Structure 1
Amino acid sequence: MTTTVAFIGLGHMGGPMAANLVRAGHRVLGHDLVESALADAAAKGVERAGSAAEAAAIADVVVTMLPAGRHVLSLYGPEGLLAAARPGTLFVDCSTIDVADSRAAHAAASAAGHRSLDAPVSGGVVGAEAGTLTFMAGGEQAAFAEAEPLLSVMGKKAVYCGAAGAGQAAKICNNMILGVSMIAVSEAFVLAESLGLSDQALFDVASAASGQCWALTVNCPVPGPVPGSPANRDYRPGFAAPLMAKDLGLAANAVRAGGVDAELGLRAAELYARFAEGGGAEKDFSGIVRAIRAASATTADTEKGATP
């Protein structure tokens, strides 16, 4: 059954997601403030809309994929998408935003007579292009059931996590695990190098032992052991370091607000913020291994020069 979808936000993630909907036979009206993104999407069959509101006005479902909560709430504002859409339209926000902002967006949609779902994704640009994303959804179960056929086109798995904001909560918790584990894996490789152990030897052991994790076996931070990892293409992102820094920042805010003792999560947020602001601005988040290696070399040089 063909669904008319308004897709707002056609960047590195949204563009491929919208294209997959088109390939599945759905009508997709797209809008983005960046002309090149809109042109790329149009080349893949997405219909250009004159504005986000224009697309929402004739859509059955409105999907948003935006950088931050302020962008979502601005578009959901009094004269934005909610006002333009027909009564009862389903809004699916795939952005990764603060849980409080997500709940505010749900409340605004409900007050305007619409249904809504927060459905952030995991899988990066590669997953968006391949249609293998994982969606974490929060909202009414009926809204999730209606959105699921579209989510199944854009991803391989959609998990219903609970009430409004639950999808965002699951996303930031998952990415806190990922950020911490990538730092741990990177530190282990740098330690192995200092001990004269090859990257391949450590990988062969850890990938078959208790150190096994996604950060090691799929997104390995050193070139060689996993040919498809970003480390083999000069850390060209998959999942860019600034995005990891953003997600860990959201997690850190939630940690502090909830009074949770999460020392590693907070430290990971600090390390990725520093990496993203420096040499990692345009690199995959696994490139943090370079920062750890550089800092280790500096520390070693300082210790060698210390007075006994």
Structure 2
Amino acid sequence: MTIKHEIAHVAHVELLTPEPEKSLWFFTRVMGLTQNGTDGDSVYLRTWDDYEHHTLKLTAHTTSGIKRTGLRASSQEALDRRVKAIQDAGLGIGWRDGDPGIGPTYVFRDPDGHELEIYWESEWYQAPPELAPSLKNQAQAYPAMGVCVRRLDHVNFLAADVEPSTDFLRDVLGGHPTEQIRLDDGTIAGRWVTFTNKSYDLVYTRDWTRSHGRLHHIAFATDTREDILRAADIFLDQGVFIETGPHKHAIQQTFFLYVYEPGGNRIELCNPCARLILAPDWKTITWTEAERAKGQAWGLKTIESFHTHGTPPVDP
């Protein structure tokens, strides 16, 4: 049976940081997210066009990395069906009380060990008067601070083996692989998966350290491509390390800029973000090792740290 659109979208992430104050400064003052509550060592932050309570849960920790990725189901019935499928696959952890603004949440792992959660009930954000937008179809007023990212776009996980986790997304959660990298030995080194009409929501790329459960990056969408050019100047002025870009990916054709936030996690700005996949019979695009060796769309070779840097860090 084909599973279609039972996952509505990637909703939020919990990011770990050993530099909580500096990371909070980065996400609020530089990236332009708005704080929307705290809980112990965690701060809840939201992008201005997100309709839910939070986009990012930033949690103080001894190291960096991603703790959990949230997926919203498309209905209560879809949630029940996906939970049963996850349990049947033997990867369930169990039900939890959701974070603020979120109802009952089922926590599980992918085959590589990344922790995810799925839920249906969600409290739509109601902006206080000082953040109320003039346009009633927008969740929050434009904050006019720093980069002003619009929404969470995608998450790129590192995995010791890409295929088991992306097969899990396809067979258990209903994701559709849109593009992939196949090495000369037949190994899938990267795969881009969508749950929606976007060309990708979750990405898995090969972890060359053979570690499990690590993060390559989380990506935020900007309103325009020019915002990324402006962001490069903002990062330069604020002393934020720019890893690579602005430039254009060949795969998915995304205009990008990669930086490290103060806790060490890689953050991407992207626009155009994921392209729209409208064809119901879209066939997965496969890139060869030779094609990837040509670099990015405009000739820039992929820099070495793109293959070696992930969080949490591991000993070489």
Q: Please tell me the TM-score bracket, short chain as reference.
A: under 0.3
- Structure with the higher fraction of residues in strand conformation: 2
More RCO (CA 8 Å, sep 6+) = 2
- Structure with the higher fraction of residues in helix conformation: 1
Larger Rg: 1
